[in-house]
Amino acid sequence: MEIKVLKNVLDKNKDQAEENRNLLDEHNVKMLNFISSPGAGKTSLLEQTIPELQKTMKVAVIEGDAYTSRDAERLQKFGIPIVQINTEGACHLDSNSIRNAFRQLDLQSLDVILVENVGNLICPTGFDLGEGYCIAVLSTTEGDDKPSKYPMLFRKAKAVVLNKMDLLSYTSFEKDNFVKDIYELNPQVQLFETSATQGTGTGEWNTWLNRMLSV
């Protein structure tokens, strides 16, 4: 019985995600779902990404957070539409909350929606939002074993951004192990190394992203 209930939840989510995807296609809007553990650097990466995308595209953000609007406040400086979703403790966004967020946006006027999911390496991965691609962010301070411990995310990601490269030498993070595990899980993945606070490595990331969103 319990299994049936869970399946229903996931089926319902999947159906709404497909509707979201169709709606985005109709309006020619691309959507990316940024997933990481809390503090890996999603918002910091968005702070490096939005001004570059803004040069050629109309960007909006959907911010997922358990309780606060702090990340949305950090992004206000870019003057773009931002919709905050507070999950009231839930550990992931779902496709219905994204559909509700769309109602606050003028999809016709947009080119790309960046979704910052709730910080968590497991739950957001099971809930399709209707995004085109999912982007995984991992930081060097979290340990090189995380891809093999949380394979679902790293299998599904179109790109993995290894952030906090400026701290690499202060950690025991073995980059070779990380790279080997990532490519074993996902041979097609795009891999980037950044320091989002220092703005290093973000040029390659932005170039790839711009190209990917322009096709």
Ligand X SMILES: Nc1nc2c(ncn2[C@@H]2O[C@H](COP(=O)(O)OP(=O)(O)O)[C@@H](O)[C@H]2O)c(=O)[nH]1
Residue 174: C-alpha distances to residues 133, 164, 170 (Å): 27, 14, 11
Residues 62-121 that bind Mg ion (CB under 5 A): 71
Q: Which two tokens stand for residue 79?
A: 């003057």
The residue range among 19-27, 40-48, 60-68, 148-156 that interacts with ligand X, by the rule CB under 6 A, is 40-48
**Interface mask (CB under 6 A) for ligand X, residues 77-116, using x and -?**
----------------------------------------
C-alpha span between 101 and 116 (Å, rounded): 13
Picked from ligand X, Mg ion, none, the partner binding residue 140 (CB below 5 to 8 A depending on kind) is: none
Please identify which residue in 41, 64, 124, 130 interacts with ligand X, judged by CB under 6 A: 41
Which residues, at least 6 apart from 124, have a Cβ–Cβ distance to it below 8 Å?
33, 35, 91, 92, 93, 117, 118, 153
Q: Which of 13, 20, 44, 186 binds ligand X (CB under 6 A)?
A: 44
Q: Which of 13, 33, 36, 43 binds Mg ion (CB under 5 A)?
A: 43
* Burial of residue 67 (number of CB atoms within 10 Å: 0-12, 13-18, 19+): exposed
Distance of CA 20 to the CA centre of its chain: 16
Considering only residues 19 to 38 of the shown chain, the ones binding ligand X according to CB under 6 A are: 36, 38
* Assigned token pair, 198: 């220092």
Choose the contact partner of 166 out of Mg ion, ligand X, none; CB within 5 to 8 A by kind: ligand X
Residues that bind Mg ion (CB under 5 A): 42-43, 71
